[in-house]
Amino acid sequence: GTDGLPTIDPLRLVAGEMKFLTGNIRKLLGSGHPSLDRAAKYYTQAEGKHVRPLIVLLMSRATALCPKAPQRQQSTLQASAAIDTSISPLNILSDFNPSDATPVSIPADTDILPSQRRLAEITELIHTASLLHDDVIDHSESRRGAPSANLEFGNKMAVLAGDFLLGRASVALARLRHAEVVELLATVIANLVEGEFMQLKNTARDEKNPKWSEETLTYYLQKTYLKTASLISKSCRASALLGGADAATVDAAYLYGKNLGLAFQLVDDMLDYTRSEKELGKPAGADLELGLATAPLLFAWKTMPELGPLVGRKFEKEGDAARARELVLQSNGIEQTRALAQDYAEKAIEAISGFPDSEAKDGLIEMAVKTLKRNK
């Protein structure tokens, strides 16, 4: 690292687990209908960053060393349960057929439970489902350096593929046999929609000539929690719960995920201003084109009231997006966004400061540091 200490590679700590992630996810997504099968697995082809599963797996290892809650009845998870993917008149609903179980790949010798590994896969499924829907909503034409699913299959199939992912994620979730974890992840799905709805309006009141207020930022951060941090925070909480951690550990895991998630999206919103499509593997400068006022613009707006009417009309008038972009780059909006992201990253690290020292804990700390340094 920059301080001369060797930097820990978070991925290396759970590499054995991550190796099987995409394969296991593809098993969860099998459909007897060839074109649904193809659309559903489409975003698993290009390697994503797999940030969410990585965090869940690191959290699982880090919390394995923390104090335990009083015994809960053991989960009856069948790690070998497989989902029947054939479509025949008898199982047209593609329901679970226990006699058709093929084992999922399990790496040996780790302190990660099968249920936590499955949770990591579920988080990636929910995230990928949200991307399928998001690219339709955003009219996005590229994702992970390839044509988006909506471009490749059309909007209808992309939306349905996303729904299919949510269905399979729900089946996998139910099989964890842990009601509180089911409730957490089901809430995440609702939160994703709430966040996306809030984003359709730039401000709470949706006026023609809105004035900047502290509420502007509160609204943005609430939206950001719902659309990004909810999944990360609640899956961190679920990971600790599945491991049987005590209440203080479960809360710490949640706080880590919440703060990391907020930092992550702030950086994402910053990169939309500072990086190219080539670097991102998805369109750059997209937010203003979509009418969205994110953190860099909101900070600029605080000192540049002339941005108000542009926000009010969602940068729709010819030249609005370019003008807004120019003002943001002239302002200190980018630096303020970076500073706020840093505050949250520090809070994430602080949240888990009470965990016993371990490589996995260092990996979680490094994830927070990397979130600030990432450029895609």
Binding site for Mg ion (CB under 5 A): 134, 138
CA-nearest of 174, 175, 192 to 183 is: 174
Q: Please tell me the count of residues contacting ligand FPP according to CB under 6 A.
A: 17
Residue 43 is classified by DSSP as G
Q: How far apart are alpha carbons 282 and 322 in whole angstroms?
A: 19
Nearest approach in angstroms of CB 192 to ligand FPP is 4
Q: Which stretch binds ligand FPP (CB under 6 A): 20-28, 76-84, 150-158, 192-200?
A: 192-200
Classify residue 31 as left (phi > 0), alpha (psi -120 to 50) or beta: beta
Residue 197 CB, shortest distance to ligand FPP, in Å, is 8
| Residue from the set 25, 189, 334, 348 that interacts with ligand FPP by CB under 6 A | 189
Choice between 66 and 231, CB closer to ligand FPP: 231
Q: Quote the least distance from Cβ 231 to ligand FPP, whole Å.
A: 8
Tell me: does residue 181 bind ligand FPP (CB under 6 A): no
319: left (phi over 0), alpha (psi -120 to 50) or beta: left
Q: Does 217 bind ligand FPP (CB under 6 A)?
A: no
* C-alpha to C-alpha distance for 35 and 54, rounded to whole angstroms: 30
> For Mg ion, which residue has the nearest CB?
138
Task: Name residues contacting ligand FPP, limited to 108-167 (CB under 6 A).
Answer: 126, 129-130, 133-134, 137-138, 140, 162, 166
Nearest distance, CB of residue 96 and ligand FPP, angstroms: 22
Q: How far apart are CA 112 and CA 360, in angstroms?
A: 11
* Chosen residue from 168, 282, 302, 338 binding ligand FPP by CB under 6 A: 282
Residue 27 has φ and ψ, to the nearest 5°, of -65, -40
For 68, the 3-state DSSP assignment is: strand
Task: State the distance between the two ends of the chain, measured CA to CA, in whole angstroms.
Answer: 20
Note the residues at the interface with ligand FPP (CB under 6 A): 126, 129-130, 133-134, 137-138, 140, 162, 166, 189, 192-193, 196, 227-228, 282
